Amino acid sequence: MSIVLGKTSQSRMDGLDPDMRKVVLEAAATAPPELDFMVLEGVRTPEQMMINYGKGRTAIQCEAKGVPARYAQPRAAKVTWLSDPFNSPHKARPTGGRAVDLAPYPIDWNNHARFTALAKHVLATAKRLGIRVRWGKDWDEDGKYEEKGETDGPHFELVR
Ligand SMILES: [Zn+2]
């Protein structure tokens, strides 16, 4: 069984670390139809990192981290807890970006069970390939999802 990644999903893998890309492609190649998914984001530009950091933060908080005040959106919901806004696992690296965000397709943000089912499939695929990947709802990789309130259901990253 396999699902087909669309052109948009494929182009969003540009610049990814070859191991991360391998996991995504193999996960697609072995996914049953009910685990159809798409790639939301791979390598993130500095601009996008600043936009994300500005969400839920004031101009002063932004400037303290080198993010121009115009990115501040204090009323928006916070989306990142990075101590360094530019050190996202999604950033471009010489060896390729280490993180990718995936979502079950068609996307239903409220269907957490589907995100979990997809994550289990991706993590099992990575394990089979011998590539260490961590999920955004289990940062300490102990298999207990959301135990510390982790909410980054679409996020997968290589552990190096
Ligand atoms: Zn992510």
Q: Is 80 in the same domain as 125?
A: no
How far does residue 155's CA lie from ligand 1's centre (Å)?
Answer: 4
The predicted pLDDT at position 149 comes to 86
Residue 9 has pLDDT above 90, yes or no: yes
Q: Helices (DSSP H) in 6-150: which residue ranges?
A: 7-11, 18-29, 46-54, 59-64, 112-129
pLDDT class of 141 with cuts at 50, 70, 90: very high
Q: How many domains does the chain have?
A: 2
pLDDT class of 151 with cuts at 50, 70, 90: confident
Q: Is 61 in the same domain as 81?
A: yes
In the block, which residue shows the tokens 């280490």?
Answer: 98
How far does residue 60's CA lie from ligand 1's centre (Å)?
Answer: 25
The predicted pLDDT at position 160 comes to 87
What is the distance of C-alpha 46 from the center of its chain? 16
The larger pLDDT score, comparing residue 29 to residue 160, is at 29
CA distances from 138 to 1, 20, 52, 150 (A): 27, 17, 21, 7
**How far apart, in whole angstroms, are the C-alpha atoms of residue 60 and residue 39?**
33
pLDDT in tens, 94-136: 999 999 999 999 999 999 999 999 999 999 999 999 999 999 9
- From 125, 135, 131, select the one nearest 27 (Cα to Cα): 125
How far does residue 126's CA lie from ligand 1's centre (Å)?
Answer: 17
Q: Is 150 in the same domain as 108?
A: yes
Mean pLDDT of the chain: 96
Q: Is 106 in the same domain as 143?
A: yes
How far does residue 49's CA lie from ligand 1's centre (Å)?
Answer: 11
pLDDT in tens, 73-104: 999 999 898 999 999 999 999 999 999 999 99
Q: Is 148 in the same domain as 134?
A: yes
For residue 134, the one-letter residue type is R
How far does residue 89's CA lie from ligand 1's centre (Å)?
Answer: 7
How far does residue 43's CA lie from ligand 1's centre (Å)?
Answer: 9
How far does residue 20's CA lie from ligand 1's centre (Å)?
Answer: 12
How far does residue 154's CA lie from ligand 1's centre (Å)?
Answer: 6
Q: Is 107 in the same domain as 129?
A: yes
pLDDT class of 156 with cuts at 50, 70, 90: very high
Residue 113 lies in a domain: yes
Q: Is 72 in the same domain as 107?
A: no
How far does residue 109's CA lie from ligand 1's centre (Å)?
Answer: 15
Residue 14's domain comprises 1-19+31-43+100-155
Residue 24 lies in a domain: no
- Give pTM, 2 decimals: 0.91
Residue 106 lies in a domain: yes
For residue 21, the one-letter residue type is R
Residue 111 lies in a domain: yes
Q: Is 63 in the same domain as 79?
A: yes
pLDDT class of 36 with cuts at 50, 70, 90: very high
The predicted pLDDT at position 158 comes to 97
Q: Is 131 in the same domain as 148?
A: yes
Q: Is 131 in the same domain as 149?
A: yes
